[in-house]
Every structure is written in C-alpha cells, then in structure tokens.
Chain A
C-alpha cells in the first residue's frame, strides 16, 4: 500500500520508474480527501501545486536529470511555515486569508530535493499549546483514538503522518512541539540543535527556542528529511555555519559502547506507569544491544517549566506585535487607531492572549529582573547540567511526555497543568540541544515515546541510537488500526 510505504521506498520506486510521481501524489491527495474530515489535520490542501510539482519531477526523470533525495515524496507542512502563493494562517483568526509572498528556506530546500508539498497542517494557534486544541479552526484528532489529542503544537503534522495522509511532515518545536506529538502519535521526530535549520520563513513564536523539525514513521526517513533541511542560511543570523555531515551514514553502526544516560531522580514524579514501563523496557533493549547505561542528573531541570514559560512568552509578546492589521491580515477597524489595534488583536485566541499578557508582564518595568533575567540565568544553569551529564554519557534518555495522548478537552482550561506536562521536552529546548522522540511501544493501545537528547550538533548519534533501538523492536511498525485496516 502506497500510504504505508516509507518515504525512501516511494522515492526509490519513483526513481526506478515503478511508480509515477503524479500517481503517488494523486493517491495521497485522495487519501487526504477521504480521511482528513475525521482528523482535521489539514488547514489547506494544495492539490494544484502538488500535482504541478509532481509533473515537474516526472519531466525531470524523463529528461534524465538527477532527482533529489525526496523525489516525488509528498510532505505536509505546518501552517506556520511560509509557502509562496498559498495561505499561512498559524491557525489564527489574526492571519486568516494571508497569502505568504515568499518561501521559507526549508521550503526552498524541500523543493530543491524534489519533495511534493501537499498542504498546510493544523496546529495550536501560533504554535502555543500542547494539544492542538488552541487552533482557531478546531482541534486535530489523534488517529489512534479520535477522542484524544494528537499532541501539540504540531498536531496536524503528526496526525497527517500517523494517519498515512502523508509519509512525511514538517513541524516546529519551541518547547517540545514536534517531540510530544510524535510520542502521542507513534512517530519519529527530531528537534535539531538550535541554529541547525534556518528559521527564515517560520512565523516566530520564541525566536531563541524555535527550530523546525520533521516527522516520519521511522528513523531513516526522519534522518533523510533532517539532512535535507539542515544547513547554514545567510538569511537567518542565528543559523550556524558548521558543517552538517551525514545523518544516514552511521544509522547501521549500532550502540555497542555508546553511553546512555538515564535521569532517575527529579523528573520521575507524575509519570504514568505505562510510560515508565516503556522507558524501562527501552533501557533494557539498549543495554542488551551493548549500550552502557549510566545514571545522570539534571538538577536545574525542575526549573525548566518556569524558565520556559517566562522566556517563550516574553519573546512571543514581542514577536506577535506585528500582527496589528496595519500591513497585512484582517483589521477590525473601530474608532481611532488605538481602538483598532486593540480590537484587531483581541482576535488572538485565549491561550495566545494569555502568553502575550504573561510575556508583556515579565518584560515590563519593575519585573524584568525578577522574571526574565532570572529565567535567562536558569537557562545557563540548565545548559551546564547537560555539559556535566555529557561528561558521563553520549545521549540522555527520558520519556518524551509523562503520559500517553490525553482526551481532548481534558486540560484546555487548565493552562498550568498543560504547561507542566512539557517537563521532559523543555530542558533540551532551553539548552538548544538536539532531541529526538522515537516510538517505544504502546500503553493501553496508545503510543509511548522516548526522548534522546544529544550534545549540540550531534544529531548523528541520536539517529544512530534511535535506529539501533528501532531495529531491535517492532514499535515503529505499529499503526493506528482505524487508518491502516487493523494491526500491521
């Protein structure tokens, strides 16, 4: 079945001429048409653009031109990434109807790799949320259980790949927004080292934390897309000039002698038993494969939630100031200038408003030192915790999230509870480190993910460890039955 194929299998079939790029694209577009009403993973499907791109891949093949590493492979794009000529809404009323006049750098790179952009995926409004319920256009449903959240904020991208509506997707991760939905949806997702992937064309939430990361159904596919989108971009001043190297070359090297650090203390509380069991099993699997398991501590990590929910809202309060209806986007024009500003911006949803308010408050006169300056210092300490941990190990292993996918509505009106559930993903974000979530089995029929955090720039080791783990288990072959006709 096409929709169950890996991206590289599709690409190979297209390159060999066993499948046409148009045929593959049409098949996924039809599947989106048929199944997305259940998931609401897409906010916009660009059938016309996708077919045109597929036709050009076929033309290139006929002409004997070299085909890119994602030739003819459909990919879904989170709706906070600018794709020229089609809407980019960030799932917000504030940006409703806005057509991006340019391509994000990652989009240019995907096009250069001959990938097929099929559409824009639903998300938490402006990527603020951990359940995809803050979307102004309605929530996404988890393919494993339609009553449950797919995770967030890149919930639409996760659901699209988990439901087989696209073999690949891009999301963005500020505090866990690709890793947590990957865990909730049984997928592999990477948050790269900060600066590894250009943010040009990613609508900013928190600029010092945002990174773009891919979703795939297995480690190899995730590594391929990661390699395509990584690399220096002169249009992003925070983009690193360091050589990327190959993420796929070392996938088969195994984990013998790799030191896996396990955090057993402070972070352990409040984790569901099913998640704990999956993590324990994963540790045993890795040990059996020859990895050296060591205990490490991240003493400052308990402050990560506070630090993150100061830094990210502070940056967001400034980043979202441009959504004022003056140059683009809808304007609610009532009374004078000040009233127009206020009414236009009151169209932000509740969670976004909450964060703008929190961020404005912590930056305002008299509070800056107690909150913002303090949080930035906590970041330094968290980064030092990791430095110390990486003296003893090569990757740090934790759960990705403390629970499996929760029910839609369960936490929506309890923001603090929602924030606390980000405890495992936030420390790596604050320290700018690469972190990957990989499936580690099911708990009560729902996927559990484990998170591997690596040294800065060392994505390759994360992929290598994850690949060895994946090869030793069948977790990644699990599919949501309702979308793949029973257990795989």
Chain B
C-alpha cells in the first residue's frame, strides 16, 4: 500500500527457535507436540533453588546466525533478566540479553521491485521462550499452562526500521527465514511458532525526518498475514493522521478472523522490565578458537549457492531460485548433479550434468517431495536419480521412458538399471538393427508406402510407431534418420 502523503516506517523483530535437542538452560527435550508438561524439570519450571546452565550448541547456533547475517560477534556478552509477571513465565523473569548482546550490526539483502535493498540488523540476542497458555481446554474457564515450551532456545533478530512497505517486510521475512534455514539453525516453521514475527509500524509525512509514534503488531504467524496486518495498520494510522488525530503508542494484535489489528494494551500500562545482569550466569565468552570453528562449520548461504549453481552447474537464475527453495532440495540437486557427472565422466561436464538434473528435478522430483521444517523426504535417492539420468545420457533409454522408470523407482524402490533391464526398455541404437527393422516394416506395408509417396506425409508417424513397437524402443533420432533415407529410396 502506498501513500503520497505519508511514508511507512517498519521494523521487524523475529523470534526464531534454535534447532537444539535440549532447551536453552536445561536438559529437557525440545520435541514438538509432546503431551503437556512432560518435558519439564526444576530449571524450566522455575522451581526454588534451580539454576540455569547455557546450552553450548544453542550458543554456537546463535553465533552462526550472527555470522550468516554479517554481524559482529561479541566475544564477551552478558545475560540479563527481563522482569515481569505472567503465568507463562516460570521465574517471573525471562533470561535474555540486554546491554552487550551476542551479535550486533548485521544486514540482510532483500529483493524488492526496485532491485536489491540492504536492510540493517541491529542485534541478534539469545533468550529463552515462555510457556504456552492454553485456553478453552475442558469445561472450566481456567487458563492452562504447558511448560514444555518454557526455556526453548530462541534468538531474537531485531531489524532496523528501514522497511518502507508491507512488500519489503514480506521480502525481509522470507530472506531472513531462508538465511536461518540455510545456516541450519531454524526450521522456519511459522505454523508451529518456531519462527515468529512482531512488527513495529509508524507513519511520517513524506519529507519528515523524525519518526512518528509507532504501534507494535504481535501475532503475525503467516506470510499472508504479514502483508495484510501491516497494510491494515498503515491504512488505520493514515486515516487517523489525515483526519488530524494522533497515534497512541500501543501494542496491537492481528486478528485473522476479523481481518484487522486490535488494541492489546497502551504503552502507559506497560511494565517496567527492570533489566539487570543475571547474577546466576557469568559473562558469555566466545573465544577465538570457538568462533573460528563455528565460522568453519557455517553451511553455505543460499545466495552463494545460487551464484555457484549459475556459474558452475549451468543453471539459469530462475532454476537456481527454484532449487534453493529449501536447503535439502538444494543438497539433493547438488548431490545428484555430482553423481551424474561422475558416472558420465567422459561425456558430461558438470555444467551440463547440473542442467540435466535441474530440469528433471523441477519437472518430476519437486512434485513428489515433502518438506517438514528443515527436513525433506525424497522418494528416490540422489544415487538412483543419477543412475537413471545416466541411462538417458548414454541413450540406453530416452527421456520419456525415464519418466516412467522414475515412477517405477518411486513405487518399487528398485534400481533404475534393474527396472530398465527387467522391463526390456533398452532402446536399440545399433543402426544396422534399426535399418533391418525399418526395411521389414516398409516391406510389410507397401500400401502405406504408396500413399506416402503420393504426398500423404502423415503416414510417416505410422511407420515410426510400427518400428518402435518392433524394436521395443529405439533412439528416435536414429529411427527417423534411417526411415527418411529409406523412404527417399526409389
């Protein structure tokens, strides 16, 4: 939504759950969907006397996130307590970071209609998640609290208020999600809440430098809602401002059922969080050796993969995008391309192998892939797919047969070569055998040959069909060539 009088100022805060086995400060499981309150302990339940001990892998993942987003990683960062009361907050405070967070000053490049835009990232800090309040369970009016989620490891990525439209906000979120997924630290699952977004939205008159009063939008849990919620909020604020009103600083929530944002609380009612350094936790130190080890283990970023696919694997920009829709799809593609190139070492350079695999994956494989968070399940291994495509490459079968064989591989789990052999799908490419078959067919159909020579060229298709049936598959190019030659004979 664009306005001529006002400019929208949007900054996003994203909470992303780190893909560890255990929680941020205790050894409880992070598995999703367990029965309520079955993954809890004195630490995450905030029992008297329990103490937090940070999860090394969670810190390593948070550093990965910082590195992948170009942040400066603070070698000594501090834990802080954010104090407030809420039944989903076990200890009456959240362990987070305040002054001196782990990562600062990063950036994210996003694609906009007017080209690539670099958006600043203020900070990425580590914190623990709150429990989950369940409403309307059973007959009572109580709220029930499930502490399985309490203490899940999160990073909060605070973006600079440099986004100017809901389109940019959506592009930012998608780019961020992609970056975290390719770094292997987050599964990007908005539905399960492992990637959550709050948006700060304000308006200012075009040409004005100062920011206007902002509202914080919570509960934006799908990409569809990001655009809707921000557009609604921009329109709401614009209506107020253009009729001479003032914006109240408040927290609002997006109601997908009503299609609008609703006020939750005004800033005057806000808590005073009384942040202070958590005395239970010493300074968080990331030393040289550890930082370098994390840097070395950082998976390749999506943009880098795309550039490499274009440069080395013969892909178009479009293909590269499609194949990096998910890190596991990209892995699958690369593995298959390498295996195919290795099988056809003499005939097929990597760039061509890449293109062949890309085409087949996009046409056939993507239809049958299912993804779940960072996982994806493929019905056929990269090795089998490479074997199948190698059969096409050495002209044992043609492309059309390959599709049938692929379907067969999925169904039976058998190796492509075995299927081709067992079903007799090997195409004849020996020219003399083909010529013999062509001559035989022509000899057995003199009437059709006459009508061809009389100008009815469509009869050629009939001959090809007969020849193919007789040969049980053959290289169509060779068949056509021989057929044309023999038909031209007097």
- A interface residues (Cβ-Cβ under 8 A, vs B): 80-82, 88, 90, 95, 98, 100-102, 104, 199-204, 206-208, 234-238, 314-315, 317-318, 320-324, 326-328, 337, 341, 360, 363-365, 368, 372
Contact = CB atoms under 8 A, between A and B. Distances in A.
B83 A318 contact: yes
Contact of A237 (B81, B83, B92, B282): B282
B81 A318 contact: yes
B145 interface: yes
Nearest to B42: A102
Which 7 pairs, one residue from A and one from B, show the smallest C-beta to C-beta distance? A321-B92, A208-B279, A207-B279, A363-B274, A203-B48, A201-B49, A322-B46
Nearest to A202: B49
Contact of A363 (B53, B276, B279, B280): B276
Contact of A101 (B47, B83, B87): B47
A483 B85 CA distance: 48
B85 A321 contact: yes
B414 to A, nearest CB: 51
Chain B, interface size category, equals 20 to 34
B49 A360 contact: no
A365 B83 CA distance: 12
Given A102-B42, A314-B276, A321 B83 contact: yes
Chain B interface, DSSP helix/strand/loop, else mixed: loop
Given A82-B48, A104-B49, A372 B276 contact: yes
Interface in B52-102: 52-54, 81, 83, 85, 87, 90-93
A155 B229 CA distance: 60
Nearest to A315: B279
Contacts, number: 101
Contacts of A341: 85
B433 interface: no
B409 to A, nearest CB: 50
A143 to B, nearest CB: 29
Given A95-B48, A104-B49, A326-B145, A337 B280 contact: no
Contact of B92 (A200, A207, A324, A365): A324
B51 interface: yes
B415 to A, nearest CB: 50
Contact of B276 (A201, A237, A318): A318
B48 A90 contact: yes
B264 interface: no
B64 to A, nearest CB: 22
B410 to A, nearest CB: 49
A356 to B, nearest CB: 11
A172 B485 CA distance: 103
B50 interface: yes
Given A322-B92, A341-B85, A365 B47 contact: no
Contacts of B276: 314, 318, 363, 368, 372
A364 B276 CA distance: 10
A327 B48 CA distance: 11
Contacts of A365: 272, 274
Nearest to A198: B51
A20 B83 CA distance: 52
A237 B53 contact: yes
B274 A200 contact: no
Contacts of A98: 48
A95 B47 CA distance: 11
21 contacts: A80-B49, A82-B48, A95-B48, A101-B42, A102-B49, A199-B49, A200-B49, A201-B49, A201-B50, A207-B278, A237-B52, A238-B280, A238-B282, A317-B274, A318-B83, A321-B91, A321-B93, A322-B46, A322-B90, A326-B87, A327-B47
A88 B48 contact: yes
A277 to B, nearest CB: 39
A156 B48 CA distance: 20
B87 A322 contact: no
B47 A328 contact: yes
B45 interface: yes
Given A202-B49, A203-B49, 11 more contacts: A81-B49, A88-B48, A201-B49, A204-B280, A237-B54, A318-B83, A328-B47, A328-B48, A341-B85, A365-B272, A368-B274
B145 A322 contact: no
Contact of A206 (B54, B90, B147, B279): B279
B280 A237 contact: yes
B281 interface: yes
Nearest to B88: A326
Contacts of A95: 48
A342 to B, nearest CB: 10
Contacts of B46: 322, 327
B49 A318 contact: no
Most chain A CB atoms below 10 A, which of B51, B52, B91, B272: B51
B53 A322 contact: no
Contacts of A88: 48-49
Contacts of A235: 51, 53
A362 to B, nearest CB: 9
Contacts of A238: 51, 279-282
A364 B42 contact: no
Interface in B279-320: 279-282
Most chain A CB atoms below 10 A, which of B46, B47, B91: B47
B282 A100 contact: no
Nearest to B79: A237
Given A88-B48, A204-B49, A318 B282 contact: no
A376 B91 CA distance: 23
Given A101-B42, A321-B93, A322-B92, A236 B51 contact: yes
A327 B91 CA distance: 10
A100 B49 CA distance: 9
Interface string B428-463: 000000000000000000000000000000000000
Contact of A324 (B42, B45, B85, B147): B85
B53 A199 contact: no
Contacts of A328: 47-48
Nearest to B276: A363
Nearest to A195: B282
A360 B92 CA distance: 13
A315 B92 CA distance: 12
Contacts of A208: 279
Nearest to B25: A237
Contacts of A101: 42, 47
